[in-house]
Structure 1
């Protein structure tokens, strides 16, 4: 409904116009009348009408002055001026103020209704555009956390990031990525076990994003998995890295305790300027969270104690990060070789076997956490007993990594197979609806970019092509009902334009819908010659 305010200093004129509108236009509601410019300004502020018919010649504040005052605070309201003066000077003033149309006194009812109807159509179109923009903005707002989480996943986990990565980052309207570090948030219960960590992780992601914004910290929140959430934080140029990391760590620990009741721990990686190095920072954040018993509930990678490392400690740390990177890429043979080289460093340095076993066990725990964050649910790797020598430690480490590799490969295949089956079923069942890629992604709890890639790898086609094929198959079935028109079929399979449906059908099937239906319902007799 469109709301109308009538402004005229003549009561008879106001009454006559109101009667014309009420009797001739069902979808316009008169919300009030005003007898002069001052009343019009007050009524417009109070009633917020869509349209105002404004008399020009009134005592006190005139119509044009009232229009100027009202539009200063309300840019959406439209005006039709009512005047007995059809002059060029008036037209110039009216156009300058954005008046949509005008009525000359006196005017016939048909002219009045036609003029108001024309402006009302403009208002309706404007409302539709505004609603469309609102829905698009809302859709984008809902999508931004998904896009943000996918960017984090690509930067930290994907060996070959999407070619659309830069476009996705631009979508966030983020400043140029510079001087960033990774924080890996783990949730535990008060007993120190990750298994009991409570909370709705989707809500927690949004809450973390809100906490960063409230703290004036620019960062991206990744997808929750395995009771942990990775964050990429961008350092404020006014702070040192350490000052920023410690401050954010303390803030998030307090906020997470308040929000979830769980006991968090945050590992914090080193600062890097290049986005390609965010994986290094992530590996460091994982290694920084080996000991979850620290009272501060967070630790910087640079604060890791090196007193238990051999003299070549820095080399050990780099080897450990290489093991994590190899596992992330799926290069398990290289990961095993790297783990054995770590053990070699301890053996060469003459370190006790217990220290070497504890160190490599910590690496395996961190590695498992990384795999959990990538979506794999795996049993924790445990050595069956204290090893008696370095040869035995190497053998058992190779066995544990081999089991992880096998479990990961099996679960990867199972996960993708289940997801593909679920997607196919969902699309077929809902193909007639306005089915978006985002909706399919939500059904399997994955981001749209992953779904798009999964479709391409399993079906050799894009998601929209598969949906189109499903719709065409449904259309073929519906055409068997002679009572259904092609227009009805168009709407039933999810399209809104019969001409567009016809073009798509012919491209897929090779015949137009009309030709196909004729062959289906009235097949030609075939004669042998």
Structure 2
């Protein structure tokens, strides 16, 4: 039900309208009154009516001026003029001010009720359109955020999937993008206290990253952050016509802010004039090489990048992934430690693939321990392992009932939304019970359990990859509106709380 404001200096007219409305329609749940235009504006600002009946001839601020101000305060409010003159001039004035209609006094019952029914229908339609737009925008923001995180995980490796970068730019709605690379090199030794823990340095670098991000967002620039040891690498994307995103003055200000707010000395350099994606790839590779070969890539980034390249499946993608792994291993101080970490990463990778594709069969070539291989054969063994995983994923994608594949695609693309079995089944063209039976026959699990695994996997990834997000934000990004419920589900699925998982991941 909606709120109606009646503004008329004649009490009998207000009483007559209230009598007609209360007797004849259930669309109006609350009626508020004003005796002149000024009072109408004051009351509307407080009560926020959905519909306003305004008498044109009122003392002080008349109905025309009141309508103008009401539209400024409440653009969605439906304005109806009350007038004693049935003339074209008043009708024209009503339309010019964005009014829905006008009523000639004395008003007729049937005319008032028909008009309110019409206005209520318009309000419902507009509300539905707004909700639909809000859901679309929310889904779009979720897609942008997910793609940004994905690209960020790749960035520190020195190469990007330019197709996904192009999709990201399209999602941003930038038709003629410009790209620059910002590199902030900080001296962790300049911090007043000793930085002897990875977690402490991570916090300091995150604060520096936030300074860069805030400055970029202030200028309307989108940024994708990455890490190169004690450097922050940031891809800047925008459509501005300025010569550079960060002027020399802004660069100096940012370096000063790093010193004053984070207590670190830092040097910010900008790679300008990037012509295209090929040029971008060359500049990124140069940035990684300039870091002295220390990629600073985390175990999480290694696993995520391997997963992405397995799913893309091209031989060139696998070769890139193998090269990245060995650059990362060379950056670690001890060879035995590097091999142990790589075996752990591959074990987690196999586990994630098995959860994502429940009926995936992993051949023996995908289960080899690289610690048991020689230096000469290790690269070839890793490449063959990735091929086995890729082929297994391809076979998995080729089997299954079309409705089950459709349901999986819906959940993977929209797990951040409030999905139900009924919604998924309806879009797949099956009844909930039939689709649930097909799903369990194909994958040995229920639709909701599969959806939960997708959401928890996303939460695990965000907990380790984005320290700027708190638990509530991660819960929402993973499709949970209630952080407490999210924490209970997370503990049930992983055995630990989200906070414990984040701390164990960072310390490990």
The TM tier, using the shorter chain, reads 0.5 to 0.7
For residues 30-60 of structure 1, the C-alpha deviation after alignment (integer angstroms, 9 at most, x for no partner) is 3531223343344334443221012234455
Query: Which residue matches 1:487?
Result: none
- Report the alpha carbon displacement of residue 5 of structure 1 after superposing the two structures with TM: 0.7
Partner of 1:380: 332
Measure the CA separation in 2 of the matches of 1:278 and 1:471: 31
Task: Tell me the distance in 1 between the aligned counterparts of 2:160 and 2:279.
Answer: 14
In structure 2, the partner of 1:417 is 350
1: CA distance, partners of 2:250 / 2:286: 13
Moved more, 493-502 or 27-36: 493-502
| Deviation string, structure 1 residues 147-179 (Cα, Å, up to 9, x no partner) | 334445566648672535323213234585546
| 1: CA distance, partners of 2:187 / 2:403 | 41
| CA displacement at 1:250 relative to structure 2 | 1.9
Aligned residues: 370
Matched, 1:254 2:240: no
- Are 2:140 and 2:171, in contact at CA under 8 Å, matched by a contact in 1? no
Is 1:460 matched with 2:397?
yes
Q: Is the CA contact (8 Å cut-off) linking 2:183 and 2:270 kept in structure 1?
A: yes
Shift of 1:102: 3.6
Larger relative contact order (Cα-Cα within 8 Å, sequence gap ≥ 6): 2
CA distance in 2 between partners of 1:97 and 1:134 (Å): 27
- The corresponding residue for 2:99 is 99
What SS does the aligned partner of 1:501 have? coil
Where do 5+ consecutive residues of structure 2 fail to align?
295-315, 359-389, 411-418, 439-508
Partner residue in 1 for 2:489: none
Q: Deviations over 1:280-300 (max 9, x none)?
A: 4444444555599xxxxxxxx
Q: Distance in 1 between matches of 2:409 and 2:251?
A: 55
Task: Determine the C-alpha separation between the residues in 2 that align with 1:240 and 1:99.
Answer: 45
Q: 1:501 aligns with which of 421, 430, 455?
A: 430
Aligned partners of 2:162, 2:322: CA distance in 1, in Å? 20
Cα distance in 2 for residues equivalent to 1:31 and 1:240: 53
Tell me the equivalent position of 1:116. 116
Q: 1:238–1:80: structure 2 CA closer, same or farther, 3 Å change rule? A: closer
TM-score, reference length from structure 2: 0.55
| Residue in 2 that maps onto 1:71 | 71
Which stretch shows the higher mean deviation, 30-39 or 248-257? 248-257
SS at match of 2:200: coil
Change (3 A) 1:242 1:39: closer
Describe the superposition over 1:70-124 as per-residue Cα deviations: whole angstroms up to 9, x where unpaired: 3355432211233444444433332333322343434454543332122022112
**1:273 maps onto 2:278 in alignment:** no
Which residue number corresponds to residue 232 of structure 1? 235
Relative to 1, partners in 2 of residues 1:264 and 1:8: Cα closer, same or farther, differing over 3 Å?
A: same
- The Cα RMSD (Å) is 5.3
CA distance, structure 1, for counterparts of residue 9 and residue 317 of structure 2 = 83
Q: Deviations over 1:333-386 (max 9, x none)?
A: x999xxxxxxxxxxxxxxxxxxxxxxxxxxxxxx43xx7xxxxxx99234xxxx
Instruction: Please give the secondary structure, in 1, of the residue aligned with 2:17.
Output: helix
Counterpart of 2:441 in structure 1 is none
Deviations 1:195-241 (A, max 9, x none): 24366799869834543337749462335698875312479966799
Gap change, CA 1:184 and 1:173, over 3 Å in 2: farther
Compare 198-207 and 155-164 and name the one that shifted more.
Answer: 198-207
Evaluate the alpha carbon distance shift between residue 495 and residue 78 of structure 1 in structure 2; reply closer, same or farther with a 3 A threshold.
same
Write the deviation string for residues 126-161 of structure 1: whole angstroms up to 9, x where unpaired.
223223333433443454343334445566648672
3-state SS of the aligned residue for 2:274? coil
Rounded to whole Å, the distance in 1 between the matches of 2:272 and 2:145 is 24
Give yes or no for the alignment of 1:207 onto 2:207: no
- Whether the 8 Å CA contact 1:211–1:255 is kept in 2: the answer is no
Which runs of structure 2 are paired with 1:400-415 in the superposition (5 Å)?
410=343, 413-415=346-348
Secondary structure class of the residue paired with 2:198: coil
Cross-structure match for 1:16: 16
Answer yes or no: is 1:329 the counterpart of 2:320. yes
Aligned counterparts of 2:152 and 2:50: Cα–Cα separation in 1: 45
User: What CA distance in whole angstroms lies between the structure 1 residues aligned with 2:246 and 2:56?
Assistant: 65
Higher Rg: 1
1:195 to 183, 195, 198: 198
Determine the structure 2 residue equivalent to 1:221.
224
Report the CA distance shift for 1:290/1:197 in structure 2 as closer, same or farther (over 3 A). Answer: farther
Q: 1:469 to 1:328 in 2, by over 3 A?
A: closer
Kept in 2: contact 1:269–1:282 (CA 8 A): no
Output the CA distance in 2 between the equivalents of 1:100 and 1:403.
73
2:86–2:104 contact (8 Å) kept in structure 1 = yes
Inter-partner Cα distance in structure 1 for 2:325 and 2:420: 55
Contact preservation (8 Å) 1:150, 1:223: no
Structure 1: how far apart are the matches of 2:36 and 2:125?
30
Does the Cα contact within 8 Å between 1:272 and 1:281 map onto a contact in 2? no
Contact 1:49 1:77 in 2 (8 A): yes
- Give the helix-richer structure, 1 or 2: 2
Cα 1:501–1:114 shift into 2, 3 Å: farther
SS at match of 1:494: helix
SS at match of 1:222: strand
- Contact 1:184/1:286 (CA < 8 Å) preserved in 2? no
Distance in 2 between residues matched to 1:240 and 1:77, nearest whole Å = 41
TM-score by length of 1: 0.53
* 1:94–1:249 CA distance, 2 compared to 1 (3 A): closer
1:2-81 alignment runs, 5 A limit: 2-26=2-26, 28-30=28-30, 32-59=32-59, 61-81=61-81
Q: Does the aligned pair in 2 maintain the 1:183–1:233 contact within 8 Å?
A: no
